Amino acid sequence: MVNKRLPDWLNSSLWSSTPSLEDDERLSRHSTTTTTTISYSPAVEPTLDPPTPPTPPSPTRVDPEKPPETKDSPSNDSHSSDLSYNDISEEVDFSTVDISRQSQLLAEISKKVINIRDLRRISSQGIPDIPGIRSMVWKLLLGYLPPDRGLWSSELAKRRLQYKQFKEELLMNPSEITWRLDKTRSCDKGDSKSESRGLLSRSEITHGEHPLSLGKTSIWNQFFQDTEIIEQIDRDVKRTHPGMHFFSGDSQFAECNQEALKNILIIFAKLNPGIKYVQGMNEILAPLFYIFRNDPEEEYAASAEADTFFCFVELLSGFRDHFCQQLDNSVVGIRSTITKLSQLLKEHDEELWRHLEVTTKVNPQFYAFRWITLLLTQEFNFSDSLHIWDTLLSDPEGPQETLLRICCAMLILIRRRLLAGDFTSNLKLLQNYPPTNISHLLYVANTLRVQSIG
């Protein structure tokens, strides 16, 4: 069988350089939570739409510490490709592109009625590091804020009130529910003595209100069933980005943020009994809450928990089937999505696909399951994850197709090392993805999109 010809844009010294000892040393000590951003001037091809993404921005507003960054500047495959990219493309003054894009974005979000299509086009190239901008744009991209700015105030008030009601109804201990029922009955009877005690007589306690009831409608039975999920959520939230004081530590600020994350996940689990809570949802929730909580507008920062909940629901709506075990083998399940990634790699680089899946027998599920279900939050540092999400959330058809192209680009960027590796070394490399330049990664992903269209 004749292999599919390698695309011309891959026939470059960029992909064929010999691995250095420094590469291997860095791989052995690489942590998936750290990376380095290189400042460079990537090239833009006129046929690409959208143009090359900019250098990854840092988070909108920094909490007591900055998101973790790498100790040094690695010289791995992808960085080598950045440095030699001028051999095959034209160099541009990227600072001019940055300023122009920033002006376009500010002009668009300042309109009375925002054109969401234009906003997606501009945001896909990266959102500038201006306090509050990413918070606003993400809410628009996720449909939480309507395009008409005149509707923002009423819409936000309605959503935030709804979330407050969710908290009152779903986060209440059964003892509190019983007390409220008692209070209501006491008021109806005018029995001030019973109200002051807050107690029900044995004859007044219904079957559903009894702590030992096993009935399906029993509030206590449901409470005990939820306890296991709540304990899992509590453990996962405490493990969320342990290197960031925003999420972890003994400070009151961190504890408040953890409490907000727990509330959101518990409410989501109770409102979605078919999925409930699945380990890893906390990692998807974290970037949203971080951005919204650091909004410079006090009103928005104070309402970050409510705003994050609705945006989290909207974001997860495009991926919820990946978290439903009963659908794993269906056309919408996680295995089907991983198969699409495999097919995408075969389409764009059959030689690499064949080496991985036929020669070395590296099953994509061994590495792509985490990449896809956690939206790449564990493969790059926090700051770079935000930049990737700018592009993911800007896709008008939903983030999944863009996510698969980025995953495919991740494989292509380290193809030289993968082609030289065996099962063990390739699996280690893919499960501990090396530091890379995010702007270049997104550029390659966009190149795949253009080639697929062409």
34-44: average pLDDT: 34
Residue 16 has pLDDT above 50, yes or no: no
Helices (H), 239-349: 252-271, 281-293, 298-302, 304-317, 334-348
346-370: average pLDDT: 95
442-450: average pLDDT: 92
Question: The tokens of 71 are what?
Answer: 């100790």
6-14: average pLDDT: 48
What DSSP string describes 87-102?
A: GTS----HHHHHHHHH
Q: Which of the pair, 386 or 95, is modelled with greater confidence?
A: 386
Q: What is the pTM of this model?
A: 0.73
pLDDT in tens, 166-206: 999 998 765 555 545 555 555 555 554 444 444 444 444 45
- Classify burial at 116, counting beta carbons within 10 Å of its beta carbon; exposed 0-12, middle 13-18, buried 19 or more: middle
pLDDT in tens, 48-69: 344 444 444 443 343 434 454 4
